[in-house]
Chain A
Amino acid sequence: MRNLWIFVSRYNAFFFFIIFFTVGIILTIKNNAYQHSITLNSTNAIVGSAYERLNVAKRYLNLGQVNDSLALENAKLRTELIALKNVDSSKTAVIKDTVYHQQYTLVSAKVIKNSINLANNIITINRGTNAGIEKDMAVISPQRGIIGFVLHVSPQFATIRTLLNKETLISVTIKKNNAFGSLVWGDGNFDVSKAFVKEIPNHFKLNVGDTIITSGAGGFPKGIEVGRISKPRSNAGDGSIEIKLFNDFSTLQYVYVIKNRLAQEQKTLETQLPNEQ
């Protein structure tokens, strides 16, 4: 027993190393496998408010760009408004559909912490459960393009697992022929402006420049533009298609979180199916 104690105290550095190292590894694995059980992330109030303060300065420097993008959005909305005002109302029947009226509502939020350099990127926004944000809601960018899904929520903040994350998988279709596929980013790709569409059957003819939109399955409303094809069938083997994303993650300032009024109903119905996951 005494010898054992001498042995342990002589090589104490090694035993301390084993203990602390194991704790570190456990933390890492837990975080990677479940992405939960964490209060030590940027939804944490202290860290969140620190980032928010830092962002006040940062936002000021980007005012020009933000103004441009807002002006662009205004222009788009005005165009739509004019188009709607000029609808010939005598020919359009008014349908009061109380079930489908406003299925989707948008909540705007400021990005207070952005990340694009990691293998699994997560951003933090300044809206949380107080603004009605819930886990797994879809998030889109103010111009064109999609952002990702809500990962954690606290009363004031929420984190979003962006498209730039190995875990994110989004159902998309090709606009011209409605072929379904899934949008992924990772797997050896670290370019924030590129992503890949997988599982499109080989018999569909694809061209450079075809638009990719969301399919309507899995949280996003149908028809949000995601990107354009830049290389059809890039790697001959797995048939994945390289696309260029419309939105720029590195200058992200504002996002819209999509509240789907019927999400719960759809989910309940779909869990009744026996063989779907």
Chain B
Amino acid sequence: MNSKVILLNIFRWVILLFVQIFLLRNLIFYNLSTPFIYVLFLLVLPFRIPNILLFIIAFGTGLTIDTFYDTIGVHTTACVALAFVRILFISVSLNRDSIDEPEPSLGNMGIKWFSIYALLCIFVHHIFVFFLEAFKLNEFYYTLTRSLLSVVFTLFVVLLVEFIFHNRKSS
């Protein structure tokens, strides 16, 4: 990892968390669907990042979001779960030695692989966020609806952002 990659990721982190905290925190549809775009940062971290570093970054990012949301632990746990799913999915779907792309973005990996990857990670993350926040199962279907609709919303925004950046790079 050279310094350019590190700088790019720090830049991404700042922008995505800023947007999440000061803009998307106030955005919700019918009390049901709310996007957590900041997970995109964890999705597109480089392939070669060591596992321990990935977990530390995920933990820190979650804790930062939690601090602003006043929900200590909820996003932290969800981000750690996301990091684990990310490692699992990459090791199952790709041969680690033959990876020659720097990072798992839409432009590098193609729409099919990236959508499945993003869907899985976002799904796990949102399920953890909403169920840990409710912290009980007697509103199960309501919480499930909330998380599934939010998955759709987040996935849409993530793909949108990736499309925009992909096109800008190639042109």
Contacts and interface: CB of A to CB of B under 8 A. Distances in A.
Interface string A95-136: 000000000000000000001011110100000000000000
A136 to B, nearest CB: 18
A16 B52 contact: yes
A41 B67 contact: yes
B63 interface: yes
A99 B109 CA distance: 76
A122 B77 CA distance: 21
B40 interface: no
Nearest to A121: B70
B76 interface: yes
Q: Categorize the interface residue count of chain B.
A: 35 or more
Nearest to A123: B70
Contacts of A41: 67, 70, 72
A12 B52 contact: yes
Nearest to B58: A20
A108 B106 CA distance: 51
Interface of A: 12-14, 16-17, 19-21, 23-32, 38, 40-42, 44, 47, 54, 115, 117-120, 122, 159, 187-188, 190-191
Contact of B62 (A24, A117, A190): A24
B81 interface: yes
A187 to B, nearest CB: 8
A79 to B, nearest CB: 36
Given A40-B67, A191-B31, A13 B84 contact: yes
B87 interface: yes
Contacts of B139: 187-188
